[in-house]
């Protein structure tokens, strides 16, 4: 059975909006380029996560952002991202052009549940905030990996909006990665 792993870059005050600065958010661009400015360890974490994943799952906007950038890149991370299976949740995207991509349309929760049943290993969800919130609300997320950037924006879309219920999590690991905090949480499920 597959395991849904949410992997997010996040500010100290919980903002996930526009980390690359490409969405026009006035406070966007807070990540900088991974691998530069002394963040080589963060680049290694990203590579290790990609190498350890069975597949990636995206919302349409994140998918289109990444699909416009990674196919033209080279290197070990680019090769892995370009070759690995990618699934994109969308009601509008019909013909994805990024190699090895499949559109999941229709009942999203049913499609993702089926994907978890069919795949063994980690299914990593990066970015895709609306999708992450929906997956959390439907108890499909198994693990959260949060790379916390040392910046407070004071405004912007946060990872966790209002939820339909409490979501208990258990801390599995804390690490310092370059000048970042890297936290891994397991979603706690109530015994049935």
Which domain CATH number covers 133?
A: 3.40.430.10
Residue 50 in any domain: the answer is: yes
pLDDT at site 190: 74
pLDDT at site 192: 54
Model confidence pLDDT, tens digit, residues 156-180: 999 987 766 778 899 999 999 998 9
Mean pLDDT of the chain, nearest integer: 90
Residue 101 in any domain: the answer is: yes
Task: Supply 47's token pair.
Answer: 């590579």
Mean pLDDT of 66-78: 93
3-state helix, strand, coil in the chain (%, to 5): 25, 30, 45
Indicate the range of 12-21, 52-61, 125-134, 141-150 predicted with least confidence: 12-21
Residue 154 in any domain: the answer is: yes
Mean pLDDT of 60-69: 93
Residue 128 in any domain: the answer is: yes
Indicate the range of 43-57, 97-111, 123-137, 162-176 predicted with least confidence: 162-176
Residue 192 in any domain: the answer is: no
Task: Supply 44's token pair.
Answer: 């290694």
Compute CA distances 12 → 27, 50, 146, 154, 175, whole Å: 14, 24, 10, 10, 15
Region of residue 183 (phi > 0: left; psi between -120 and 50: alpha; otherwise: beta): beta
**Which residues span the domain enclosing 96?**
2-187
Angle between the N-to-C axes of helices 76-83 and 40-52, in degrees from 0 to 180, rounded to the nearest 10 = 30
Is the model's pLDDT at 37 over the cut of 90? no
Residue 112 in any domain: the answer is: yes
Residue 168 in any domain: the answer is: yes
Taking the model in full, what pTM does it have? 0.91
The dihedral through the CA atoms of 31, 36, 40, 45 has a sign that is positive
Is the model's pLDDT at 32 over the cut of 80? no
Q: How confident is the model at residue 33 (pLDDT cuts 50, 70, 90)?
A: low
pLDDT at site 160: 86
Q: Give the side-chain half-sphere CA count within 13 A for 94.
A: 0
Residue 176 in any domain: the answer is: yes
Is the model's pLDDT at 35 over the cut of 60? no
pLDDT at site 71: 94
Model confidence pLDDT, tens digit, residues 134-161: 999 899 999 999 999 999 999 999 998 7
**Number of structural domains, the chain?**
1
């Amino acid at each position: 059975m597959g395991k849904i792993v949410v992997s997010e870059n996040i500010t100290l005050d919980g903002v996930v909006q526009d980390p690359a600065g490409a969405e026009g958010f006035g406070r966007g661009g807070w990540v900088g380029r991974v691998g530069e400015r002394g963040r080589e360890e963060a680049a290694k974490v990203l590579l290790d996560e990609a190498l350890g994943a069975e597949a990636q799952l995206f919302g349409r906007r994140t998918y289109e952002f990444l699909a416009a950038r990674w196919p033209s890149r080279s290197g070990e991370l680019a090769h892995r991202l370009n070759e690995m299976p990618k699934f994109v949740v969308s009601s509008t995207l019909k013909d994805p052009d990024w190699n090895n991509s499949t559109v999941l349309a229709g009942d999203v929760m049913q499609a993702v549940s089926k994907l978890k049943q069919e795949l063994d290993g980690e299914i990593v969800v990066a970015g895709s905030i609306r999708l992450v919130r929906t997956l959390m609300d439907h108890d499909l997320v198994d693990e959260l990996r949060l790379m916390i950037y040392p910046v407070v924006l004071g405004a912007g879309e946060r990872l966790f909006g209002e939820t339909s219920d409490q979501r208990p999590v258990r801390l599995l690991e804390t690490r310092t990665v370059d000048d970042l905090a890297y936290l891994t949480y397991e979603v706690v499920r109530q015994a049935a």
